[in-house]
A and B are shown apart, each in its own frame.
Chain A
Amino acid sequence: MAVKKFVVGCFDEEGPLFDAVKKVRKSGYKLHDVYTPFPIHGLDQAMGLRDTSIHTAGFLYALFGTTSMLSFMTWVFTVDWPFNVGGKPHFALPAWIPITFEFTVLCSCVGMVITFMYLCQLAPFVKKHHFHLRSTDDLFVMVIECTPKTNESEVSSFLTSIGAKEVNTQMAETGWWLGRYDREQKLFEGQSETVSA
């Protein structure tokens, strides 16, 4: 992973954000990502992201769960250790369906969670750069990546003109890393507010 330069624009409502996303795509700037406090319907289409393939992955995990559990039980109860349960046949398919079903669901959902965490680069003990902490609270944060050809002051004024309330430039690591946030980085710098009684 590499450290890159980003221009970050913050919006305080989702309505202007949609227009801004459209304008940014039209202008040809490289949209890195948009961080929102909650999922917004239709934003992925507006950003031009392709449909996720996570359901295909889920289907494959489920298929793995079904076949592995069915073949395992078949092997155990017909080959390895056949025994008589209430006079039922050794290959007692109906009795195995609930177990197969549960294992299918388990494989599918655990597999999908892990895949999802990998795709979003989230995991315990792993750190990722936050462009703006308030994006987990009430701020919609749009991040534009600077290429060698990008004039960042031009991007900043463009973002302001399309309605960003706050614009700044950041050098940031794009990927995840194991360890800790930089000691020098002051997460809350310049954001303290006095609370009025």
Chain B
Amino acid sequence: MAIKEFFDIPARYRTWSMALMGVGILSVIVGFILYGTGEHHGMRFWASLLQNSTYFLLVTNAAMFFICATTLAFGGWQIVFRRVTEAISVAVIPLGIIALIVLFACIYLDPHVYHWLNPEKGDKILEGKSAFLNKGFYSTWTILTIGLWMVLGNKMRQLSRELDNNPLPDAEAGRKYIFKNTVWAAIFIVWFALTVMSVTPWFWLMSIDAHWFSTMYSWYTFASTFVAGMALITIFVVYLKNQGYLEYTNEEHIHDLGKFMFAFSIFWTYLWFAQYMLIWYANMPEETIYFNSRITSKSHSGAYTGLYWFMFCINFIAPILILMRRGSKRNYTTVTFMAIVIIFGHWLDFYQMVFASLFPDHVTLNLFDFGVAAGFVGLIMFSTAKALTKAPLIAKNHPFIKESIIHHT
């Protein structure tokens, strides 16, 4: 079978990604004029950028996590579309730089997103947390987080491309190659565990509610972005299939991606519920405050109630009912539709994580937020397509490639 090894960016794709990025830039400019200064010190503007940049950064970084986790598990099935996953993870570089700028602006320009920057006098809780919540620790950790993601991700991609022109001579070399991959993947996973699964979301998102805390928060964030990352991989794989690429990828692989979306939607709900129920049960004011602005209660207006339960429905009830059947996980249309729903749903989840704390009285969601999101989507499309053109679409010399081609679910 003659296969198309290299991806050509179709003209329409290029136009769309450019247009979306244009919309994004325009939105940022208009947003800065409307919300960048004035009554809230630009809080609305920076909060939207914070939500979008961290969300899309974590989603694209989830692609690299997926590569490393499957490498450590000696999973072979995903090798046929591994180049797509790698290409998505390249977007960590531009998105990381943008997120770094936004986060630093939130710290050093102080648009009142993080109120722990200027605690009121005699605020015992924030004084107690000051060893953790301070500018120095925040900035250092943010730079380390994003920097090491880029470096380690780059190393993983490099290891994969190394084989393209030098096939492995024998089985022994193959074993050594796999071992080397495992070592680097393990390093990435450890760093991932220290960042996305623990400290980083506490800094970036949870510290918006500086008085509140939840130890499940990072896991919750991780589950949210990982399932959206799987959805993103699925969309790109299906797109490339429709364009006539990825000849060896078939519905068996799509089925497994669908299973990931299904399973991690439920995992997300599990964490959502675990966090909610413990706080509901203990009923301590300093903890319940988080849900007061999100779910209706007597003392609050409940502006976010509708949005919150809508988000819950499309992130849990839709995936569990629609993706449950075997047939729907093997159907390209259903899987793509659900992938888009999931990405949007978790974007809304991030929206309520950021905005329900900053603007508890009314939902400010408008075209500006969607415009910024469109810009990030365009950027991911652009950088992924660019990365796809640079390497062959199939890692043909990888030791597990045969296992992946004959994969059967």
Which A residues lie at the B interface, using CB under 8 A?
Answer: 41-42, 51, 55, 59, 86-88, 94-95, 97-98
The residues of B that contact A41 with a CB separation of less than 8 Å are 408
- Which residue of chain A has its CB nearest to the CB of B327? A51
A95–B276 Cα distance when bound, in Å, is 11
Would A97 and B273 count as touching, CB distance under 8 A? yes
Question: Provided the pairs A41-B408, A42-B408 are in contact, do residues A95 and B326 lie with their beta carbons within 8 angstroms?
Answer: no
Would B326 and A94 count as touching, CB distance under 8 A? no
CB contact between A94 and one of B277, B324, B408 (< 8 Å): that residue: B277
The residues of A that contact B324 with a CB separation of less than 8 Å are 59
A86–B284 Cα distance when bound, in Å, is 12
Would B326 and A51 count as touching, CB distance under 8 A? yes
What is the size category of the interface that chain B forms with chain A? 10 to 19
In angstroms, how far is the closest chain B Cβ from the Cβ of A63?
12
Question: Provided the pairs A51-B326, A55-B326, A59-B324 are in contact, do residues A94 and B280 lie with their beta carbons within 8 angstroms?
Answer: yes
> 6 A-B contacts, Cβ less than 8 Å apart?
A51-B326, A86-B283, A94-B273, A94-B277, A94-B281, A97-B277
Shortest beta-carbon contacts, A-B, top 5: A41-B408, A94-B277, A94-B280, A42-B408, A97-B273
Which B residues lie at the A interface, using CB under 8 A?
Answer: 273, 276-277, 280-281, 283, 324-326, 408
A95–B408 Cα distance when bound, in Å, is 41
The residues of B that contact A94 with a CB separation of less than 8 Å are 273, 276-277, 280-281
In angstroms, how far is the closest chain A Cβ from the Cβ of B219?
18
In angstroms, how far is the closest chain B Cβ from the Cβ of A106?
17
Not counting A86-B281, A87-B283, A94-B273, a sample of 5 additional A-B residue pairs whose C-beta atoms are within 8 angstroms of each other reads A55-B326, A94-B276, A95-B277, A97-B273, A98-B277
In angstroms, how far is the closest chain B Cβ from the Cβ of A20?
20
In angstroms, how far is the closest chain B Cβ from the Cβ of A50?
13
In angstroms, how far is the closest chain A Cβ from the Cβ of B277?
5
Would B281 and A95 count as touching, CB distance under 8 A? yes
The residues of B that contact A51 with a CB separation of less than 8 Å are 326
In angstroms, how far is the closest chain A Cβ from the Cβ of B325?
8
A88–B281 Cα distance when bound, in Å, is 8
In angstroms, how far is the closest chain A Cβ from the Cβ of B54?
29
In angstroms, how far is the closest chain A Cβ from the Cβ of B256?
14
A51–B324 Cα distance when bound, in Å, is 15
A51–B409 Cα distance when bound, in Å, is 13
In angstroms, how far is the closest chain B Cβ from the Cβ of A22?
17
The residues of A that contact B283 with a CB separation of less than 8 Å are 86-87
The residues of A that contact B276 with a CB separation of less than 8 Å are 94
A97–B277 Cα distance when bound, in Å, is 9
The residues of B that contact A42 with a CB separation of less than 8 Å are 408
The residues of B that contact A95 with a CB separation of less than 8 Å are 277, 281
Question: Among B281, B324, B325, B326, which residue has the most Cβ atoms of chain A within 10 A?
Answer: B281
- Which residue of chain B has its CB nearest to the CB of A41? B408
